Amino acid sequence: MLNIPAWQRLIIITLCLGGIYLAFPNLFYSTVEKHNDAVLLIERGQVSEIEVSEDLDGWPTWLPSYLVNLGLDLRGGAHLLAEVQLSEVYADRIDAWWPRIRDELRKNRNIVGSIRRQQSPPDQLHIRIENSEAIGQAVKIVEELASPIVNIANIASRDIQVSSQDDILIIELSEEEKSATDNRTMEQSLEIIRRRVDEVGTREPIIQRQGANRIIIQVPGIGSANELKALIGTTARLTFHHVVRTTSSRSSNNSGLEITYPSIENPDLYYTLERTAVVSGDELTDAQPDFDENGRPAVSFRFNPTGARKFGDYTAENIGLPFAIVLDEEVISAPVIRSHIPGGSGIITGSFTVEESTNLAVLLRAGALPAEMIFLEERTVGPDLGQDSIDAGKIACIIALMAVMVFMALSYGLFGIFANIALTINLFLIFGVLSALGATLTLPGIAGIVLTIGMAVDANVLVFERIREELKSSKGPSRAIELGYEKALSAIIDANLTTLIVAIILFTLGSGPVRGFSVTLGIGIITSVFTAIFVTRLLIIFWFSKSRPRKLEV
Amino acid sequence: MRLKLIPSETNLDFFKYSKYTLWGSLGAMGLSIVLLLVVGLNFGIDFQGGTVIRTQSTITVDVGEYRDRVSGLGLGDISITEVFDPTFADDQNVALVRIKVQSGDEAVTKETLELVQNALKGVDPNMQFPLVESVGPKVSGELIQKAVLAVLAAILLVLIYIWFRFEWQFSLGAVAALVHDVILTLGIFSIFQIKFDLAIIAALLTIVGYSLNDTVVVFDRVRENLRKFKKRKLIDVMNLSINGTLSRTVMTSVTTLLALITLIIFGGDVIRGFVFAMTWGVVVGTYSSVFIAGLILYKLGVKRDWSKNEDVEATKFTSKRN
């Protein structure tokens, strides 16, 4: 027992040194962080090395630069839990079927007679046919249009489902198509949010899907959850419409082909527009903040080739007429077309501030969100409060460490000092593992570390108490140490495995700060068992083989 | 010379007053349950939904004035509490303003938040809002479910693990101790009306882990002594085991409490409730591993012949000799 083979010693020492190597950049957190930011900016090609040389040189490149991520509650920033309104998309999708189905049914006018679209729930299409006795055939005709969904589990599934009630055809998306649509909507939303957040260039944002229809968004360093909402929450659907007339009230009599939107600039002004957009924001390739000829903030944009052609044709045919630029059901502006615009680029003017024009450009570039989002949970932490928490955590950590160390040394003498060395190594190991995993440290996480300081010595206490007992039955020092480790092992393993079970449950079921706590608790348990069993034993063996004491006092 | 909290040789009879400790514990648990039913817990927004705004100002907090500013906004019942903490600077005056859930599934709207913040700025135009948290009713409902599930899952898994490693009597003893600790912790949160939020659930589970740690160490020794002293009475074996591990139990409790008390004093007000729950848990957890888990094990009785298992156990759980 007192002989650890050389290769095992080597592994133990290597692990300890590795932990210290990975952990020590955290002692110089802000310097290393500046260095890492500078490296990242250079990689992205946003700055040259000379511009950031001061930050870059603050930390030598050959040293490790892993850092523990600080959670929002320590760094400050905003957290949002958004729910994507998935069913909104069904309406658009089913609506898109109408022209095809209409054309197909008209071709079969001799069978079904004339057809008419009816009022219906938004995710269904209701069509009344003249010859109600032909409803069965009508169902078949429409079913012919459906295409199979490629699906390993159920090959027979199709994208739409057709049923009938009296003389009305009811068409809706099939369950399989709905779930496929849901997945696409979620992926698209995630991608767009990611792009919008990245455009602002904050550090390490977290954008994660949670469950079927939710997205977690955490952005460190942003001022408030409202700012974050403004950035990601806007659907940013940009369309260009033909203006039919302007009115002073919302409730004008529109035919189905027209819509009325308010003006963003003038609360008493409403525009009645053609429902079908001339061209939409989907066809934008670029948008940049800019200034108009009067020096007011504006957004310049460029269309892709098809968008440019539509835009060019329209402007050529409608010189002298106003056309409306609509963002999320509001008319930003309705400039008069002065000349044919062939190149597919243009400028949106309105009463913007510089900040607003920058934001709008970001939103337009990233694309429109496929569906609206509702925010179920939000948290904003100011940076000062985060710093206060870090400072408090640091002080608590240091004082707790000192108190426990003094207590251990007083209780166990030299062996207590061995345990203290192991405890210090344990702290380095925790930070090393956290840094290497890129785990996030939260305020409860710090509490977890402080708790670990208190509990980590437990395994050593178990061993030392056992050695004391063995010494009482007057065995030699070497034998007592050996038996002490051997007999305490099962208690150590059982006691720590049960706590590890708890940490794992916390990790699986918890979220946010609680998860951060479970990570430090779990890592702390593993490292403390390692240091208590192996590191202190190695220290004791080194000491024992040097001094060969006749009598042992623990 | 060593610092010794416990004399190296103790021979206490831990079951001498078992009548009193058992009734004491049962009484405390009963009281806790009554408190939970009558007074209830002071649920935070994690479990109840709503919005909390932390305000910070250089002007001394006047709760009455804050209330006057926000009461006319038509947002229902608004609670305002001042926060005191030794880590605050002299001109750091902090209060928590809590608003009920407004409508729908959503968290607080931008408009509501701005309304409240602007009203509060009437007190001090330079007032800051370093923390704003808002949870919609849909999420808070799910969080309650998840939290209850987490605690139950922890207890169940532990029950299974100990059953596996020991015997069912040990398992029941350990779980009785856990339930005791959790109920007493809920009770103390009810008495002092400390805010009960998601972090407290984490604390509860840590208490479960800690209390178990303690119980397992005692049980491990009981098992060992049962093998060693096959003829002695169970009560003697139990006492011997608890006395044998007493020094360790006290040492570990003291080091853990040292760390936790440091956190209570220096850790700031944000996690004070969380740390308080853990501190309390360490105290009751240490007590329960001896007086609840031990007692139940004693009352249930236990298989005395461990010799059959011995070979298996010895190969499985003693370290290899090289």
Q: What is the ipTM of this complex?
A: 0.82
Closest CA to A364 of A282, A261, A264: A282
d(CA A68, CA B242): 41
Q: Is A200 on the interface with B (CB under 8 A)?
A: no
Could you tell me the two tokens for A445? 């996480």
Could you tell me the two tokens for B56? 């910070």
DSSP β-bridge partners for residue A240: A279, A325
pLDDT band at B312 (very low <50, low <70, confident <90, very high): very low
Could you tell me the two tokens for A28? 């110089």
Q: Are A453 and B8 within 8 A, CB to CB?
A: no
Q: Is A478 on the interface with B (CB under 8 A)?
A: no
Asked whether residue A510 carries a pLDDT value surpassing 80, the answer given is no
Q: Are A244 and A331 within 8 A, CB to CB? A: no
Query: pTM to 2 decimals?
Result: 0.77
In the stretch 266-295 of chain B, residues with CB closer than 8 A to chain A read: 266-268, 270-271, 274-275, 278
Residues B229-276: tens digit of each pLDDT? 888 888 899 999 999 889 889 988 999 999 899 989 888 888 888 889
Q: Are A522 and A452 within 8 A, CB to CB? A: no
**Which residues of A fall within a CB distance of 8 Å from B113?**
226
CATH topology of B18-42+140-307 equal to that of B50-135? no
Q: Are B69 and B122 within 8 A, CB to CB? A: yes
CATH 1.20.1640.10 matches A6-26+59-74+383-547: yes
d(CA A368, CA A370): 6
Q: For residue A496, give the 3-state DSSP assignment.
A: helix
Q: Is B263 on the interface with A (CB under 8 A)?
A: yes
Q: Are A447 and B3 within 8 A, CB to CB?
A: no
Asked whether residue A344 carries a pLDDT value surpassing 60, the answer given is yes
Q: Give the C-alpha distances (Å, rounded to integers) separating A254 from A40, A88, A98, A148, A521.
A: 54, 23, 21, 38, 64
DSSP A236: -
Closest CA to A240 of A273, A278, A272, A285: A278
Share of chain A above pLDDT 90, in %: 15
pLDDT band at B1 (very low <50, low <70, confident <90, very high): low
pLDDT at B186: 94
pLDDT at B318: 44
Q: For residue A352, give the 3-state DSSP assignment.
A: coil
Tell me how many helices (H) and strands (E) chain B has: 11, 6
pLDDT at A430: 93
Total Cβ atoms within 10 A of residue A313: 14
One DSSP character per residue, B245-313 reads: HHHHHHHHHHHHHHHHHHHHHHS-STTHHHHHHHHHHHHHHHHHIIIIIHHHHHHH------HHHHHHH
Q: Nearest by CB to B217, which of A455, A491, A509?
A: A491
Asked whether residue B159 carries a pLDDT value surpassing 90, the answer given is no
d(CA A438, CA A549): 45
**Which residues of B fall within a CB distance of 8 Å from A514?**
198-199, 201-202
User: Could you name the CATH architecture of B50-135?
Assistant: 2-Layer Sandwich (3.30)
| Mean pLDDT, all residues of chain A | 85
Q: Between vectors from CA B250 to CA B245 and to CA B255, what angle results, nearest 5°?
A: 130
One-letter amino acid of A83: E
Residues A216-240: tens digit of each pLDDT? 999 988 888 888 888 886 767 788 8
pLDDT at B94: 92
d(CA A49, CA A52): 6
pLDDT at A18: 92
The CATH code of domain B18-42+140-307 reads 1.20.1640.10
Q: Are B26 and B180 within 8 A, CB to CB? A: no
Alpha carbons within 13 A on the beta-carbon side of A178: 15
Asked whether residue A317 carries a pLDDT value surpassing 60, the answer given is yes
pLDDT band at A2 (very low <50, low <70, confident <90, very high): low
Q: Give the C-alpha distances (Å, rounded to integers) separating B213 from A188, B106, B204.
A: 47, 41, 14
Q: What residue spans define the domains of chain A?
A: 6-26+59-74+383-547, 87-177, 237-351
Closest CA to B50 of B128, B140, B143: B140
Asked whether residue A29 carries a pLDDT value surpassing 60, the answer given is yes
* Cα A184 to the center of its chain, rounded Å: 17
3-state helix, strand, coil in chain B (%, to 5): 65, 10, 25
Closest CA to B223 of B317, B319, B154: B317
Total Cβ atoms within 10 A of residue B307: 9
Q: Give the C-alpha distances (Å, rounded to integers) separating A178 from A157, A165, A277, B93, B174.
A: 12, 22, 26, 53, 49
Q: Are B211 and B290 within 8 A, CB to CB? A: no
Q: What residue spans define the domains of chain B?
A: 18-42+140-307, 50-135
Q: For residue B97, give the 3-state DSSP assignment.
A: strand
The average pLDDT across A70-80 equals 88
> Exposed, middle or buried, A206 (CB in 10 Å: 0-12/13-18/19+)?
middle
Q: Are A214 and A201 within 8 A, CB to CB? A: no
**Which residues of A fall within a CB distance of 8 Å from B5?**
411
Maximum Cα–Cα distance across chain A: 112
Residues B45-95: tens digit of each pLDDT? 888 889 999 999 998 998 998 988 888 888 888 889 999 888 888 888 999
Q: A548 in the Ramachandran plot: left (φ > 0), alpha (ψ -120 to 50) or beta?
A: left
Q: For residue A12, give the 3-state DSSP assignment.
A: helix
Q: Give the C-alpha distances (Å, rounded to integers) separating A87 from A27, B149, B170.
A: 50, 30, 53
d(CA A443, CA A516): 8
pLDDT at B320: 43
Residue B54 main-chain phi, psi, to 5 deg:
-95, 125
Q: Is A454 on the interface with B (CB under 8 A)?
A: yes
d(CA A515, CA A176): 34
Closest CA to A540 of A410, A402, A417, A411: A417
**Which residues of B fall within a CB distance of 8 Å from A485?**
319
Q: Are A411 and B251 within 8 A, CB to CB?
A: yes
pLDDT band at A58 (very low <50, low <70, confident <90, very high): confident
Strands (E), A253-317: 258-262, 270-274, 279-280, 284-291, 297-303
Residues A194-211: tens digit of each pLDDT? 888 887 766 678 899 988
Residues A130-162: tens digit of each pLDDT? 888 888 888 888 888 887 776 656 566 788 888
pLDDT band at A349 (very low <50, low <70, confident <90, very high): confident
Q: Nearest by CB to A404, which of B158, B202, B258?
A: B258
Residue A298 main-chain phi, psi, to 5 deg:
-150, 175
Q: Nearest by CB to B154, which of A81, A505, A553?
A: A505
Could you tell me the two tokens for B184? 């007493």
Which comes out higher in pLDDT, residue A277 or A309?
A: A309
Q: Are B202 and A510 within 8 A, CB to CB? A: yes
Q: Is B234 on the interface with A (CB under 8 A)?
A: no
d(CA A380, CA A78): 4
One DSSP character per residue, A108-166 reads: THHHH--EEEE---TTEEEEEES-GGGHHHHHHHHHHH--B---SS-TT-BSEEEEEET
Smallest Cα distance from B49 to chain A, Å = 9
User: Could you name the CATH architecture of A237-351?
Assistant: 2-Layer Sandwich (3.30)
| B56 Cβ contact list (under 8 Å, min separation 6) | B92, B93, B94, B127, B128, B129, B130
Q: Are A248 and A269 within 8 A, CB to CB? A: yes
One-letter amino acid of B74: G
Q: For residue A306, give the 3-state DSSP assignment.
A: helix
Smallest Cα distance from A31 to chain B, Å = 25
Long-range contact list for A30-33, CB < 8 A, 24+ apart? A31/A58, A31/A59, A32/A58, A32/A59, A32/A65, A32/A67, A33/A67
Kindly give the pairing relationship between strand A284-291 and strand A297-303: antiparallel
Residues A86-138: tens digit of each pLDDT? 887 888 778 778 878 888 888 888 888 888 888 888 888 888 888 888 888 88
Asked whether residue A503 carries a pLDDT value surpassing 60, the answer given is yes
The average pLDDT across B177-187 equals 93
The average pLDDT across A350-369 equals 78
Smallest Cα distance from A404 to chain B, Å = 6
pLDDT at A548: 81
DSSP B320: P
Q: Is A199 on the interface with B (CB under 8 A)?
A: no
pLDDT at A419: 93
Q: What's the alpha-carbon Rg for chain A, to the nearest Å?
A: 34
Tell me which chain A residue has its CA closest to the CA of residue B313: A490
Long-range contact list for A137-141, CB < 8 A, 24+ apart? A137/A108, A137/A111, A137/A112, A138/A105, A138/A108, A138/A111, A138/A112, A138/A164, A138/A169, A139/A163, A139/A164, A139/A169, A141/A104, A141/A105, A141/A108, A141/A111, A141/A112
